Structures are given as structure tokens and as C-alpha cells.
Amino acid sequence: MKSFLPKDPGDGRAWHIIDAADKPVGRVAVQVANILRGKNLPTYSPQVDMGGFVVVINAKKVKFSGRKEEQKSYKSYSRWPGGFKRTPVAMVRERHPDRIISMAVKGMLPKNTLARKMFTRLKIYAGDVHPHAAQGPVNVVVA
């Protein structure tokens, strides 16, 4: 029996729109990561980039469960002495609401060059207006 290796779809990738309003960050990030990897397709293969494009709208209205809205903070380190920074969720939501979802999705993708290529197909918008309306057949993901 021969093993099946799917071909890269190239320009024939599907476009998916996900509305993140009033949904938990983790649930949205899992959906996005699975679509970017192509795990929603019957021909999924981890070594082939089969995933589609994902447009996430209403990123500013995404929810956190429990008391994470007050307690969670994002950490960064510049590798200089005293370069450790903690940024609370409220400040990230105010300045860059798209980063909440992008950091969650990036953590769920594998750490390799294929994942960096997948991540470029993710488009996140704070509001419900986006410039990708005419990109061919669009699947609206509701969950």
C-alpha cells in the first residue's frame, strides 16, 4: 500500500472568517490554529502546509474566563539588565487588541519554519471591518 502525500494547495486555499466577540480567547485560538495547520481537512498531513487563510474580526471584544482580565499579564524580556516587562491584559487590549489572539495562536502552532509560514496567513482586526471581503469563497466559522 502506498502512502498518501497531499499536494500544497497554493492559491486554492480556503478563506475562513471567525467572529471573536464574546468568545473565550483559548477557544478562538484553538479554532484558528487548527485551520492554519489544516487539521480541519480530511487530507491533513503534519509535514505539508495544507491550511487556509483565517480572518479574525472583533478581537477587541474577546473574553477571558475567570479573573484573568485582572490577573493575567504578558511578559517580555529584552535580554538587558532590568529589561523584564509585565504588561497587563487591559493595557494590551487598549493598545493592540490583535496581539491577544496572535500570541495565543502562536503558542499553539509548532515551533518550526512551517509554522512561521502558516502564521503569515492569519489576519486579525479589532473591529468588524476588514479588507478581505472579495477573496473568493469564504467559510464563516461559528462556534
113-129 pLDDT, tens digit per residue, is 999 999 999 999 999 89
Q: Could you say which DSSP state residue 61 is in? A: G
Q: How many CB atoms lie within 10 A of CB 97?
A: 19
- Which of the pair, 16 or 143, is modelled with greater confidence? 16
Task: Assign residue 24 the CATH number of its domain.
Answer: 3.90.1180.10
In a domain? residue 74: no
Q: pLDDT at position 132, please?
A: 84
- Which of the pair, 4 or 123, is modelled with greater confidence? 123
Residues 101 and 66: their CA atoms lie apart, in Å, by 17
Q: Could you say which DSSP state residue 3 is in? A: P
In a domain? residue 50: yes
Q: Which long-range contacts (CB under 8 A, 24 or more apart) does 134-142 make?
A: 135/15, 135/53, 136/15, 137/14, 137/15, 138/15, 138/16, 138/17, 139/14, 139/15, 139/16, 139/17, 139/52, 140/16, 140/17, 140/19, 141/16, 141/17, 141/18, 141/31, 141/35, 142/19
In a domain? residue 87: no
Q: pLDDT at position 64, please?
A: 95
pTM for the model: 0.89
In a domain? residue 133: yes
Q: Band the pLDDT of 137: cuts 50, 70, 90.
A: low
Q: Does position 136 have pLDDT exceeding 80, yes or no? A: no
Provide the domain limits for residue 103: 14-65+97-141
How many structural domains compose the chain? Answer: 1
Q: Could you report the per-residue pLDDT of 56-73, keeping only the tens digit for each?
A: 999 999 999 999 999 999
In a domain? residue 44: yes
Which residues are 88's β-sheet partners? 73
In a domain? residue 110: yes
In a domain? residue 4: no
Q: Could you report the per-residue pLDDT of 73-91, keeping only the tens digit for each?
A: 999 999 999 999 999 999 9
